[in-house]
Amino acid sequence: MLRYLSPEWLSELDRACREGRPVHAADDEVPFVIQLLVSDGPQGDVAYHLRVNHGAVSVQPGVAPESNITLSHDYATAEAVARGELSAQRAFMAGRLRVRGDLVRLVELQGSVAELSDDIGGVTQALRDRTEF
């Protein structure tokens, strides 16, 4: 079993994303990075980021120095989203997910981000059976 948000889980998420289908951004020549910050987890705070570059998606642990968007939420919210019990949109609307960064770029990339969210949701779904929350 993989412990949710552990280094091994992040590594498996990265592998699955790299093997997944490409995500096409509005401008594939300009990479974009989504930083995720999860607070108050069983092992403390966790930071990781998704990088989309020429359609390829990768996941890396830690803080990205050049993120376009940062999503912040507590562990309970992150776990509910990962389990499929709560959508990121609902978490945002309820004030449980905070978004900051280049919101203009986010709007420009909204189709790509939605595509990425769907793909990550699919990857997360595949990991759920092997994830210990």
Distance CA 1, CA 109 (A): 35
Distance CA 43, CA 5 (A): 9
Complete domains list, the chain, with CATH = 2-125 (3.30.1050.10)
Render pLDDT for 25-73 as a digit per residue (tens, 0 to 9).
555 567 889 999 999 999 999 999 999 888 788 999 999 988 999 999 9
Distance CA 35, CA 80 (A): 18
Mean pLDDT score, 20-24 = 67
Single-letter amino acid code for the residue at 127: L
23 pLDDT higher than 60: yes
CB burial of residue 107 (10 Å; 0-12, 13-18, 19+): exposed
